Structure 1
């Protein structure tokens, strides 16, 4: 069967040249899906009549006139699509929503076409893909192995090249485990970044809608469309409000300490992770071993603590009347909530607060920008899961269950193949709001580990850092008392700013020590003649703090555009012309640090 490259860039080129139409593509994908019925990928494959409104709408517009024009996608069946049943993999629970989930509506407005509702672990309870009355989902590389869950069908459909991207949900790892088991990128966004309105809850306070993609660039493009604040979702958050710390140009990557690394006796998985660490270090990235026990302990809270009660609350009325017809493993987990009390909920809340504080302290003291862990300790066959469904599922969540509890963004990245030819991978994570940075990092790293995506060997695009933007931070050039080690540097650090680089301006500036006191400060003025190149530090500051920082800057100083030696323009300190009256020209020293050293010596 000829494989059409459905990555976003490839598909847009085909549309632009007239080599493909949305109508032709969707007909091809519907026919192709019939060849994979034994994988139990879909619960509902849209028919021609159900697809027609989406296709005909696009036919009245120019190709690629919308960000996701004609892009096919698959929706996990706990996320609403108007007019199509939502089952959450439970036939008796099924209902037909009148409107789509917010995230689905945004994608459709951007031109994307829904192909199907995908199979899943019932009520999104599981990391295995075997807990569904619609059949066990099979790994796209080995039919006997698990696909990962609970977003199993969403991952398999993408790995089998039936769509360009797919939606899952991720509470305990459901958007990352299936990605790793099927050679895909899996984005678990920051909580609240993608609306969960129109999503059947698993653990309402911890749920996120996740994105499966062939590569980080596609995941970012989908996130750009779907990450919109939703006033109708009480858990929705603005990206700019998250204030994630800035990163160095090459981030420092934390690695769990050796005592915390756990691979369930799987030597192949252990060797793959250690090899991944070695390769990252060979690429010039610094890694730091981090005491990781608090993260491992926090992971146990999600199922061992009171958060199980949220699974019960989500389907309480249905569960009390239909417990006996549900998947027995899922029913057993949900039923455990009956024994939990309000006191247990408070105990869990206190334990989590304690864990959050301890993890934050370790993170800050270690000086890391992000962490890298195995996505799972190992992988299991369908038969192994059948014999021990809860115990082995728990092992799979070792490195995933704590993510939402501790409020991280995370991306699962493929790192190659095991000796048994199954995919493997790592997860990179950082504080909420780091989504774009993590995807940019994966974009730069993934081609060093694998050359193709999914199970159909689709080529990866070339890394492209310009594809990613970070609207949360602004680059700020400082020239004087805000430099590292100088009196006002604390004003930057208090606002979570981070040093990116030390560089120079273009040779277009004059530099002065101003006459105003008591703090010595410089003035930088652009000139048409006799310009010098002046040393600056470029910091990254959360935009949310820029206003309060500007309020601290005394006249005649202010913020404006500064041209760097490489031609790039950034925001930086400038001086109004009247401010240099009585000032001393110190341009020849090349910068404030040099001038202060010379001044002290004299």
Structure 2
């Protein structure tokens, strides 16, 4: 997370200055008094100064208004529904325990029913880039607060795509685990069996760090990954149906970037995913929204209905009369479609899709509120019904507005999705390797698992010597020398910057990472060896490279 050198108090002060400067009151439902937030920040600075480990110290966050924050009303976007929670929801408590300061609760589509960000008595939340366009919902305020730099991260919820569509519209990252991974205690339910607490941040790394803090330990290990390059199910643009002008081309460009990074792309049939997506609102599952707040909506409607959004109330009340037999039929059909969808995915590491299909204006949504919302959820609605995790990331711009794509994968594969997302959002770094990480050698899988891609064979400048180290698995040590050096053959790889950091953190003694001079005079990071490990090691410089030494022991 980004931290302020002056500490948490200074970060809070800068946040409130930014909030005043951007003047977007519709982002918030309840904003804490600055003095109260500064007092909490001062306690965090004291704890950090005393040596306590607080990974989020120096950050501020926002919380969607359907998630409990102790001392602030939980409204779910409906003033008449408000109650004052005595304690934080677990997700909020875990972030606070890590040192972040919650500034307030954010606006949302009422009762988290919508993907538009306009269905709220607290006002429609304007897009961070174009105030004539919607922000996306239902986690509208949380996404815009991050996009405008009011906070470092924010919590949202995601049932139909509410943690992903607003991320795409506002040029930020939206990450959600599969249902059940992050506790939903203290969250006003939309569809309780499908709801997820999601995270917004400006970078993949920040979103991943926050999700790790709020999530429960994985109940089962993630599914094993088959060896080889990344495998991405990326349906041809012709399968995606109607998209906004320029979006098919932007999606194809994102897929091409993954392919250029070494991923294997494959087509797949979206039909089972599309059918499941339609079931979320058109089938019996919407009845769970009535089970959550239906009696309250009925009572308020009979009273005067003044605090209800009419579209939200209509959706929830219509679900009251869905017969139970229809739900059981839909559950059976969902099981059949889940098998088909997962068979289509096969051993792919992720499914790549546009996050949504278009970015409407407020006027377009007002003209067709239900139809507009349905178009927005075409690609997002299926994830929770299928038990999948997902990350939405920026993928360029179209006509000056953010365009986003989404990576979807099996439950427990959030780290894989993050590695793939970095291929789209972070420039790769190069790494020269000379031994056990070469193609076909025992540790090469470490590079491919981190998103690494082979670039080309290389040779160093004539200033190195090569030694065989007594390690498991066997590996060479390459050392720069002042005299008697020669060129050593190796390979040049590309991998995400975060992947290089992961590799460095796990690098065993006596290996080191440092600048390597290549034959063309350029320098690149590469594996070197600490000179202290050389006494007793066999000098194999005459072999010219590690593979030759192995073939002629």
TM-score by length of 1: 0.70
Choose from 48, 52, 58 the match for 1:70: 58
* Pair 1:41–1:589, CA change in 2 (3 A): closer
CA contact (8 A) 1:247 1:369 kept: no
Q: Report matched runs for 1:226-305 at 5 Å.
A: 226-227=214-215, 229=216, 238-246=217-225, 248=227, 250-264=229-243, 266-305=244-283
For each residue in 1:72-129, what CA deviation from the matched residue of structure 2 results, as whole angstroms up to 9, or x when unmatched?
Answer: 0000000000011010110000010000000100110110100111001000000000
Distance 1:525 1:197, change over 3 A: closer
- CA distance in 2 between counterparts of 1:198 and 1:122 reads 17
Give secondary structure in 2 for the equivalent of 1:345. helix
Q: Which residue of 1 aligns with 2:140?
A: 152
The reply to whether residue 25 of structure 1 matches residue 11 of structure 2 is yes
User: Following the alignment from structure 1 to structure 2, what is the Cα–Cα distance between the partners of residues 387 and 243?
Assistant: 44
Residue of structure 2 in register with 1:370 after alignment: 350
After superposition, the Cα gap between the structure-2 partners of 1:106 and 1:525, relative to the gap in structure 1 and judged at 3 Å, is closer
CA distance in 1, matches of 2:413, 2:473: 35
Give structure 1 stretches of 5+ with no counterpart: 1-7, 230-237, 449-461, 466-477, 481-496, 511-523, 527-560, 569-587, 592-602
After superposition, what is the alpha-carbon deviation per residue over 1:148-187, rounded to whole angstroms, capped at 9, x for unaligned? 1000000001111011111100000000100010110110
Work out the CA distance in 1 between the residues paired with 2:106 and 2:387: 27
Deviations, residues 425-467 of structure 1 (Å, cap 9, x unaligned): 100111000111111221232135xxxxxxxxxxxxx8799xx
CA distance in 2, matches of 1:243, 1:177: 26
Query: What is aligned with 1:83?
Result: 71
Matched, 1:165 2:156: no
- Residue correspondences, number: 463
- Is structure 2 residue 100 aligned with structure 1 residue 118? no
Q: Which segment is superposed worse, 349-358 or 271-280?
A: 271-280
The two structures, once aligned, show a CA RMSD in angstroms of 3.6
**Which of 313, 322, 330 is equivalent to 1:331?**
313
- 2:96 is paired with a residue of what secondary structure? helix
Classify the secondary structure of the residue corresponding to 1:403: helix
Matched, 1:382 2:362: yes
Return the match for 2:323 from 341, 358, 365: 341
Cα gap change, 1:525/1:290 in structure 2, threshold over 3 Å: closer, same or farther? closer
Compute the displacement of 1:297 (Å): 0.8
**Aligned pair in 2 of structure 1 residues 463, 430: CA closer, same or farther (>3 Å)?**
farther
Q: 1:302 offset after TM fit, Å?
A: 0.6
2:339 aligns with 357
Q: For 2:186 and 2:227, locate their aligned partners in 1 and report how far apart those are by CA, in whole Å.
A: 38
Task: Find the counterpart in structure 1 of residue 482 from structure 2.
Answer: none
**How far is the alpha carbon of 1:509 from its aligned partner?**
8.3
* TM alignment of 1:156-555, pairs within 5 A: 156-227=144-215, 229=216, 238-246=217-225, 248=227, 250-264=229-243, 266-323=244-301, 324-325=305-306, 326-364=308-346, 367-419=347-399, 421-447=400-426
Q: CA deviation at 1:241?
A: 1.1
The 5-angstrom pairing of residues 1-16 of structure 1 reads: 8-9=1-2, 11=3, 14-15=4-5
Structure 1 residue 308 displacement after superposition: 0.7
Q: Deviations over 1:550-586 (max 9, x none)?
A: xxxxxxxxxxx9x99x999xxxxxxxxxxxxxxxxxx
CA distance in 1, matches of 2:424, 2:338: 29
CA distance in structure 1 between the partners assigned to 2:271 and 2:352 by the alignment: 15
SS of residue matched to 1:57: helix
Structure 2 Cα separation of the partners of residues 509 and 61 of structure 1: 45
Q: Is the 8 A contact 1:126 1:393 kept in 2?
A: yes
More moved, 385-394 vs 26-35? 26-35
Residue 530 (structure 1) aligns with: none
1:34 paired with 2:20, answer: yes
Contact 1:413 / 1:446 at 8 angstroms: preserved in 2? yes
For residue 387 of structure 1, report the CA deviation from its aligned partner: 0.8
User: Contact 1:119/1:132 (CA < 8 Å) preserved in 2?
Assistant: yes
Counterpart pick for 2:118 among 130, 134, 138: 130
Q: TM-score, normalised by structure 2?
A: 0.76
Question: Which position in structure 1 is the counterpart of 2:34?
Answer: 48
Conservation of the 8 A alpha-carbon contact between 1:215 and 1:443: no
- Tell me by how many angstroms 1:268 deviates: 1.4
Q: Structure 1 residues 247 and 168, CA, compared in 2 at 3 Å: closer, same or farther? A: farther
Distance 1:53 1:313, change over 3 A: farther
Q: Which runs of 5+ in 2 are unaligned?
A: 432-439, 443-448, 454-466, 475-507, 512-525, 529-547
Aligned equivalents of 1:348 and 1:463: distance in 2? 48
Kept in 2, the 8 Å contact 1:260–1:293? The answer is no
Report the secondary structure of 1:361's partner residue. helix
State the SS of the aligned residue for 2:390. Answer: strand
Give 1:280 shift.
Answer: 2.3
Change (3 A) 1:508 1:303: same
